[in-house]
């Protein structure tokens, strides 16, 4: 088989890239290891920056998002001293849209089907070859048969554990990493959200987040030790612990119910540089991971795909400059989001080795955020998304 761009991974990065390229008349093939049902069963964050919303509209997948997405003009922060609000709209005139990543992925699959895209699911043994030549190719197994795709470019959108990043020789990439000493236990429930906006809570027992997907579907998280297992947390124990960490007035009115999904995710910051090796380009989680605090994961995947689609479209039209610049452009924005998600993580969580001094600094940070318009503006700018 031959195509112009072979895309490894059918998550949001791979599907959005394929969609943008196909709309520009460029042929793609997407290779996905899992079934579509599996990909659509994953629960991930649900806060979209305005730039992500606009990109999804440009990709032709904005209709349901525009109908069902919930615009949030600010967020709540809860501390020992009480709850306060950061008003994004008032501070910088920007907003975010609450719309689940699962829904984004569903819309992308529907659009790709309508465009008769080639998405090969349940592939295995994906291997990348001849990446530094003019004729790179991918080999894989599907339905018991060995297959090969030749392409002009190969894009790794295969997430943190995929083979693409590993195809870059170890001495040609630099990896930066921070692993945090706790995880997030997340619960999805068919209940009314705790509040109109998200609540990020700093509490002596650990961080908590009250989030939502829509008016009848809530998403909650609590910070837990990495040694905890989701199976050991009963729904009742989860709700009890969440109530303790939320402000009393919110906890009192909290609607609880059976969990639809319950899982623990570790927190990590990770970047690999550069995001290119010959004719291989990386995008999304294949190149970087942010801790979920601040919901930057999907938004960074979107900005990578924006820069990369521009670069590839220009390259096929004979101008390779934007593609040459891809890795540097993407990494500038990625490091800004790395800093922001690290900062939000560090001011909101209880660290096991936190000293009294660290504790006082955390309180001072939160107090600045509560009282200084300039601190709120900086947070609002980063939370709603830095410009592309």
Contact flag: residue 69 with ligand PHB (CB under 6 A): no
Binders of ligand PHB in range 252-271 (CB under 6 A): none
* Binding-site string for ligand APR from residue 245 to residue 284, where x marks contact by CB under 6 A and - marks none: ---------------------------------------x
Contact flag: residue 10 with ligand APR (CB under 6 A): yes
- How far apart are the C-alpha atoms of 255 and 217, rounded to whole Å? 11
DSSP for 69-106, written as a single string: -EEESEEEEEETTEEEEEEHHHHHS--EEE--HHHHHH
Q: Is 242 exposed, middle or buried (0-12, 13-18, 19+ CB in 10 A)?
A: buried
**Would you say 222 or 286 has its CB closer to ligand APR?**
286
Q: Which residue has the tokens 């994906």?
A: 126
Q: Is 104 exposed, middle or buried (0-12, 13-18, 19+ CB in 10 A)?
A: buried
Bridge partners (DSSP) of residue 261 are 188
172 in catalytic set: no
- Strand 74-79 with 47-48, pairing: unpaired
User: Using omega within 30 degrees of 0 as the cis cutoff, is the peptide bond preceding 130 cis?
Assistant: no
**Would you say 31 or 188 has its CB closer to ligand APR?**
31
**Would you say 187 or 267 has its CB closer to ligand APR?**
267
- Catalytic residue (one of 288, 292, 306, 307): 292
- Strand 28-31 with 118-120, pairing: parallel
- Catalytic residue (one of 109, 220, 221, 383): 383
- How far apart are the C-alpha atoms of 284 and 304, rounded to whole Å? 6
Tokens of 271: 């970047």
- How far apart are the C-alpha atoms of 19 and 282, rounded to whole Å? 17
By residue count, the chain amounts to 388
User: Binding segment for ligand PHB among 28-36, 166-174, 288-296, 300-308 (CB under 6 A)?
Assistant: 288-296
* Binding-site string for ligand PHB from residue 191 to residue 230, where x marks contact by CB under 6 A and - marks none: -------x----------x-x-------x-----------
Binders of ligand APR in range 118-147 (CB under 6 A): 123, 126
Binders of ligand PHB in range 11-40 (CB under 6 A): none
Binders of ligand APR in range 41-70 (CB under 6 A): 44-45
Phi (first) and psi of residue 128, to 5 degrees:
-105, 140
**Would you say 250 or 282 has its CB closer to ligand APR?**
282
Applying CB under 6 A, among 3, 5, 7, 14 the residue interacting with ligand APR is 14
Helices (H) and strands (E) in the chain, counts: 12, 20
- How far apart are the C-alpha atoms of 153 and 4, rounded to whole Å? 7
262 in catalytic set: no
- How far apart are the C-alpha atoms of 40 and 43, rounded to whole Å? 8
- How far apart are the C-alpha atoms of 200 and 162, rounded to whole Å? 32
Applying CB under 6 A, among 47, 56, 76, 187 the residue interacting with ligand PHB is 47
User: Binding segment for ligand APR among 63-71, 198-206, 293-301, 341-349 (CB under 6 A)?
Assistant: 293-301
Q: Which does 218 bind (CB under 5 to 8 A by kind): ligand APR, ligand PHB, none?
A: none
72 in catalytic set: yes
CB of 65 to ligand APR, least distance (A): 15
296 in catalytic set: yes
Contact flag: residue 159 with ligand APR (CB under 6 A): yes
CB of 303 to ligand PHB, least distance (A): 17
Tokens of 255: 């609607």
User: Binding segment for ligand PHB among 45-53, 59-67, 135-143, 257-265 (CB under 6 A)?
Assistant: 45-53
161 in catalytic set: no
Contact flag: residue 293 with ligand PHB (CB under 6 A): yes
CB of 290 to ligand APR, least distance (A): 7
Q: CA 13 → CA 142, 158, 268, 295, 304, distances in Å? A: 22, 8, 19, 15, 8
Q: Would you name the residues annotated as active-site residues?
A: 72, 200, 292, 296, 383
List residues binding ligand PHB (CB under 6 A): 45-47, 198, 209, 211, 219, 292-295
List residues binding ligand APR (CB under 6 A): 8-14, 31-34, 39, 44-45, 101, 123, 126, 157-159, 161-163, 284-285, 297-298, 301
């Amino acid at each position: 088989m031959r195509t112009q761009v072979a895309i490894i991974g059918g998550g949001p990065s791979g599907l959005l890239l394929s969609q943008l390229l196909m709309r520009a008349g460029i042929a793609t093939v997407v290779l996905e290891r899992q079934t579509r049902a599996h990909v659509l069963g994953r629960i991930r964050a649900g806060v979209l920056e305005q730039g992500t919303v606009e990109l999804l509209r440009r990709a032709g997948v904005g209709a349901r998002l525009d109908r069902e997405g919930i615009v949030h003009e600010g967020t709540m922060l809860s501390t020992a001293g009480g709850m306060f609000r950061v008003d994004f709209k008032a501070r910088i005139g920007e907003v975010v849209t609450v719309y689940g990543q699962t829904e984004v992925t569903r819309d992308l699959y529907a659009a790709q089907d309508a465009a008769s895209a080639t998405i090969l699911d349940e592939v295995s043994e994906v291997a990348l070859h001849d990446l530094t030549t003019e004729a790179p190719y991918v080999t894989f197994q599907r339905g018991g048969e060995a297959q090969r795709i030749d392409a002009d470019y190969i894009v790794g959108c295969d997430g943190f554990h995929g083979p693409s990043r590993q195809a870059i020789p170890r001495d040609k990439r630099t990896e930066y990493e921070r692993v945090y000493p706790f995880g997030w236990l997340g619960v999805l429930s068919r209940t009314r959200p705790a509040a109109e906006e998200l609540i990020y809570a700093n509490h002596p027992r650990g961080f908590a987040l009250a989030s939502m997907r829509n008016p009848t579907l809530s998403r909650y998280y609590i910070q837990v030790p990495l040694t905890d297992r989701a199976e050991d947390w009963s729904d009742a124990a989860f709700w009890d612990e969440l109530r303790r960490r939320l402000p009393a007035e919110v906890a009192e009115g909290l609607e609880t119910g059976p969990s639809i999904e319950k899982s623990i995710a570790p927190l990590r910051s990770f970047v690999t540089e550069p995001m290119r090796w010959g004719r291989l380009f990386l995008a999304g989680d294949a190149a970087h991971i942010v801790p979920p605090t601040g919901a930057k994961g999907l938004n960074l995947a979107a900005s990578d795909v924006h820069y990369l689609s521009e670069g590839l479209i220009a390259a096929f039209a004979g101008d390779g400059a934007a593609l040459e610049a891809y890795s540097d452009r993407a990494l500038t924005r990625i490091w800004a989001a790395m800093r922001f998600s690290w900062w939000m993580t560090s001011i909101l969580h209880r660290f096991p080795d936190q000293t009294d001094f660290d504790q006082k600094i955390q309180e001072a940070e939160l107090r600045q955020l509560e009282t200084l318009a300039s601190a709120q503006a900086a947070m609002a700018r980063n939370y709603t998304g830095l410009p592309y």
